[in-house]
């Protein structure tokens, strides 16, 4: 798709989204992911985590309702800054993945507990280079640890899940090196909050939020964390 002038792109942004985060679907089967055997030992103060697992609208919506989370930003990871725009990334050839950057307080919710939410309701770790109707490497399932402690906990949890495997299908989640995070366009931020009647949100992402409340009530908060 040829790049359009910025002013026109702003006006047609939601229309272009039809090529990716817009296709009708049913929400993934929810799995009550187990508590992590390897607990995160994190220093006090705000911490940051990055997750990739399909369309960022749904991931943002889920983590925006998690206690201890103070910010969720939709964006792109895995590629370079020059190509980190929605139209280019949606072509599937840039190496990016749609992702979210979560800022959280580990005294309220630890990194291993965020992993529990990620695997349990935010994404399906058995889908290779896709999530539901959205296909391509930009929708891959990946953890992007930002320090040695996150790498330790992520590796431990993925290994634990591969043994228990409540999905009964191969787990394809990757642990990827951090190559930068680039915030997505403004219209993607807080998308579920601003567009609750959008067809994709109603059929795909609202069920994930409801599943968070039902499956992990200990992590649930009613208020949506605005970007």
**Active-site residue numbers?**
55
Please give the Cα distance from 146 to 123 (Å, whole number).
Answer: 20
Asked whether the CA dihedral 74, 78, 81, 85 is positive or negative, the reply is negative
For 97-136, give the DSSP string: EEEEEEEE-TTTS-HHHHHHHIIIII--TT-TTEETTEES
Collapsing DSSP states into helix, strand and coil, what is residue 194? helix
* 51 strand-pairing partners: 100, 143
Helices 56-63 & 206-215 angle (0-180, nearest 10) = 30
Phi first, then psi: what are they for 133, rounded to 5°?
Answer: -85, -10
Question: What letter would DSSP give residue 94?
Answer: S
Using alpha carbons, select from 122, 129, 133 the residue that is nearest to residue 49.
122
Terminal-residue alpha carbon distance, the chain: 29
Please give the Cα distance from 111 to 57 (Å, whole number).
Answer: 21
């Amino acid at each position: 798709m040829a790049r359009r002038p910025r002013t026109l792109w702003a006006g047609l942004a939601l229309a272009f989204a039809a090529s990716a985060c817009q296709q009708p679907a049913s929400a993934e089967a929810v799995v009550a992911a187990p508590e992590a055997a390897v607990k995160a030992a994190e220093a006090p103060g705000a911490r940051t985590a990055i997750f990739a697992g399909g369309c960022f609208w749904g991931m943002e919506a889920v983590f925006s309702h998690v206690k201890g989370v103070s910010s969720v930003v939709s964006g792109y990871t895995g590629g370079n800054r020059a190509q980190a725009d929605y139209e280019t990334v949606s072509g599937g050839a840039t190496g990016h993945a749609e992702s979210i950057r979560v800022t959280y307080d580990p005294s309220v919710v630890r990194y291993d507990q965020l992993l529990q939410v990620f695997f349990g309701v935010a994404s399906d770790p058995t889908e290779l280079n896709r999530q539901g109707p959205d296909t391509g490497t930009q929708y891959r399932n990946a953890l992007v640890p930002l320090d040695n402690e996150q790498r330790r906990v992520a590796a431990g949890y993925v290994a634990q899940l591969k043994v228990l495997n409540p999905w009964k299908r191969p787990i394809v989640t990757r642990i990827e090196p951090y190559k930068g995070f680039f915030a997505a366009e403004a219209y993607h931020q807080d998308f579920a909050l601003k567009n609750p009647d959008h067809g994709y949100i109603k059929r795909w992402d609202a069920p994930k939020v409801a599943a968070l409340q039902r499956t992990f009530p200990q992590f649930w908060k009613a208020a949506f964390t605005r970007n």
